[in-house]
Amino acid sequence: MEIRIEEVGESSSVRFSSPSVSGYAAFVPYRSKIPPQVGDTFAAETAQESVSAFRVEGPQDPKGITALPTPGEYMVVAVVVDCWEDWRLAVVVDDWSFMLDLTDIDTPIPRKGDAVSFVVHGLSLYDTGI
């Protein structure tokens, strides 16, 4: 996904915008310790500290990603694109993708194609260097 840096804060915190959502996240540069500048654009991948409120919504179209009032928190409704029953779940919404650790999910394991919803806490964006 492509992000644009809108504001640079302390300790690698940025306010970003993308076609799907705008908000706050930790930013991890590719091979560089130079902080991003306002207006820079990057191809980025996601990671999160944790997820909560995970639910299987069933086979329906995903609705998207929404920034919540707490910086770094987002409500996500996404579709399952892959599942390794003993390890991870891959979900996608718009141009965003998330890998979720199944140990953090306390519901039955969803199936490929199911819509799921969850709250992301502590979003990080990793510059892919592309």
Angle, CA 115 vertex, CA 110 and CA 118 arms, to 5°:
85
Q: Are 78 and 116 in contact (CB under 8 A)?
A: yes
Write the single-letter amino acid at 112: K
Q: How confident is the model at residue 21 (pLDDT cuts 50, 70, 90)?
A: very high
The full set of domain ranges for the chain reads: 2-127
Report whether pLDDT(59) > 90: no
Q: What is the pTM of this model?
A: 0.89
Mean pLDDT of 105-111: 81
- Structure tokens given for 41: 């654009």
